[in-house]
Amino acid sequence: MTRQPGVARHAEELLGTAVVATAPVAGGDTSAATKLRLSDGTTAIMKTHAHPPDGFFPAEATGLRWLGEASASGGVRVPEVLAVDDGCLVVRWVEPGKATADAAAAFGHALAATHAAGAPTYGAEADGFIGRLPMPNGPCDSWPEFYAVRRVLPYLKLARDRGAVTAADAATVESLIGRLTTLLPDEPPARLHGDLWNGNVLWGQEGTAWLIDPAAYGGHREVDLAMLALFGLPHLPRVLEAYQEVAPLAEDWEDRVALHQLFPLLVHAALFGGGYGSRAAAVAARYV
């Protein structure tokens, strides 16, 4: 590790501890990440963004702390927030390990506990972000309403405005909205990670999985599980089996996996274009 003066100086101002060395960390597509070695022996990771939206890093810190509250009752662990300001977030470093079947089972049990910690309502006190996109979190009285007006329709509009969804595909998705009240079962709001794809599960050492980069809010627990399935997770069948040992899912939950993947598909359409818009329409067509 070398020492990047600008990054080190900023970290020292926030942490009140000298930075001995820094090193870039690969892998992020929204923020730059730098590994820090501090004079007190702590290793941390600092996320920065040249022009972050207002509240970007504070929202992530709030989500990490909220999810971390569930760790005390057996929920999935999250990195400790060491410092945050408008331009960066510093969290304690987690040493990577391997994904094993035993670690996957432990993750399934812990994720069930995180979800069971619950939320006051569908939504959150403040809006957040998913990737680099704003994410509306205004509370709603039911999950079907929240999923429609806070998750599907905003990103459908954004994707269409960006030319990532055709008018015909948008109409297919819109035709599904009126059916959500019969297709989606209501449950008490779960404490969701909110952006739970494979890349946001960090397999640490000693068989422990950690959650990173949340877009946390209160919602239906099937959304987190559907997102895990969308882009693949090592040992996912073992994760789901262990999850259901602790917290069985509602009847026919497997039939709703694709329905709850509609939201991340539209987010990806808005962010990346490609074939995500047509995939979202194909999902919607199964249910109309």
Which residue ranges make up each domain of the chain? 5-92, 101-287
Residues of the chain with pLDDT below 50 are: none
Residue 1: per-residue pLDDT: 57
Is 5-92 a CATH 3.30.365.10 domain? no
Residue 29: per-residue pLDDT: 67
- Active-site residue (options: 54, 85, 141, 195): 195
Which of 3.30.70.20, 3.40.50.1450, 3.40.640.10, 3.90.1200.10 would CATH assign to domain 101-287? 3.90.1200.10
Radius of gyration, alpha carbons of the chain: 19
The model carries a pTM of 0.95
Do 5-92 and 101-287 share a fold?
no
Residue 26: per-residue pLDDT: 82
Residue 5: per-residue pLDDT: 78
195 belongs to the catalytic site: yes
